[in-house]
Amino acid sequence: MSEDTGRLVGGRYRLGDVLGRGGMGTVWRGEDEVLGRTVAVKELRFPSSTDEEEKQRLITRTLREAKAIARIRSGSAVTVFDVVNEDSRPWIVMELIEGRSLADHIKEDGPLPPQRAAEVGLAILDVLRAAHREGILHRDVKPSNVLLEESTGRVVLTDFGIAKVEGDPSITSTGMLVGAPSYISPERARGKPPGPPADLWSLGGLLFAAVEGRPPYDKGSAISTLTAVMTEPVPSSERAGALSEAIAGLLVKDPEKRLDVSGARVLLQPVAHGHTGVGSAAGADGSRTAVLPAPPAGAPSAPPVPSSPPAASVPSPASGQGGASRTGHSPVAGNGGRRKKRADGGSSADRLRGALKNVRNGAAAAASGSAPPAEAPGTARQGQPPGTAPGTPGGAPGSGARSAAAPSPAPPAPKAVPPIPAR
């Protein structure tokens, strides 16, 4: 039991058990003595070596998280009730989610079946859509930041601690790359400004991990993993089944060709609803068929139309983590801020940035000296389900129109032969 157990914060929130600890904070089970409800209280704590500048940065980050969550209207986002200033630091009071993280679920119970993974994906899409409409990028979508409520199965995306809010000065604008390397998009790894597609790449990596039990890229170190994210093809998923199309479309390296929220929803909904026969499917010869809209009542059915082969993507020539309360097993507070420089000539963050710069330069040199690899089948342009290709023959030149090859017409019926008159 902690010495702060039983403490009254903000004149109304009584601290109970500790739900999780991290380097920069503690999450408590609390009781709102005014409204008589159980809540979660996230406390920001400073290490003894933290200087005033770093304290202010961490306070800014904590307040940013609270404000970002408060702006998002989604059933899959945690609800913030209050922010209390106690001991010259903020305490966030929020909804208590009773359950484990997706990462803990995978570790303890194994991967999810594709249908459940698709349900998780749809819930996260709902949060991302609401966040992106508010100009908020999450930037740290990964299994440990997704909670699965035990009683209802509700999926909740947490930890907006490193979210980027449009119009606000970035607290990570010094060149430091934040987030989990296995789930950082190629464009972020190259040092480019992130947009909504970066969050969708992370969702693709999360879905891959949900069904495979491991992330698509994990090379043991941050630099090696980021290098693989930028340069290596996406590994195939052996357990994704009907979820393969959505994962492939979300993990397209070119953000301009990556699935957007609407396109991902089109592919995830049939899988989540158990309609595994709906959507593109690979035939015995490896070809794919495009999904056609349902014909009107009374109209004759038409055979599936083979789609054009996917277009190859050209990688960019330039190359280059706390969360809502939970009752699971992993700490939920933030992963800390920048390390102070040491007397040996630079911090580990400085060395990491230097090594990452070398990786980006090497990737750029490799890209300029060899032909770019073609994208894996099933990739798509933003908002477009995989299996179709832009600018295929039959469209207007330069229009980018998508067309599918129609089946060959049936041969004409033989002409009737008139009867021969009797003699």
CB proximity list for 141: less than 8 A, separation 6 or greater: 124, 128, 157, 183, 199, 202, 203, 206
Q: Do the Cβ atoms of 150 and 174 come closer than 8 Å?
A: no
CA angle, 360 then 361 then 365, to 5° = 115
Q: Which helix (H) or strand (E) is 39 found in, with range? A: strand 37-44
- Give the H or E element holding residue 83: strand 80-86
Q: Which residues contact 50 (CB under 8 A, 6 or more apart)?
A: 58
Spacing of C-alpha 288 from chain mean position: 26
Specify the 3-state DSSP secondary structure of 212.
helix
Q: Is 299 helix (H, G, I), strand (E, B) or coil?
A: coil
How far is residue 285's CA from residue 275's CA, in Å, rounded to a whole number? Answer: 23
Annotated binding site for ATP: 42
Distance CA 275, CA 269 (A): 8
The residue among 124, 26, 135, 23 whose CA lies nearest residue 74 is 124
Burial track 239-265 (b if 16+ CB lie within 10 A, e otherwise): bbebbbbbbbbbbbbbbebbbbbebbb
Q: At what angle do helices 261-272 and 196-212 cross, to 10 degrees?
A: 20
Cβ atoms 346, 329 nearer than 8 A: no
Query: Do you know the residue count of the chain?
Result: 423
Q: Which of 51, 82, 126, 140 is catalytic?
A: 140
CB 187 within 8 A of CB 316: yes
Q: Which residues pair with 136 in a beta bridge?
A: 165
Q: Is 140 a catalytic residue?
A: yes
* CA 181 to chain centroid: 13
Q: Is the separation of the CB atoms in 350 and 341 below 8 Å?
A: yes
d(CA 69, CA 71): 5
What's the start-to-end Cα distance of the chain, in Å? 115
Q: Which residues are catalytic?
A: 140
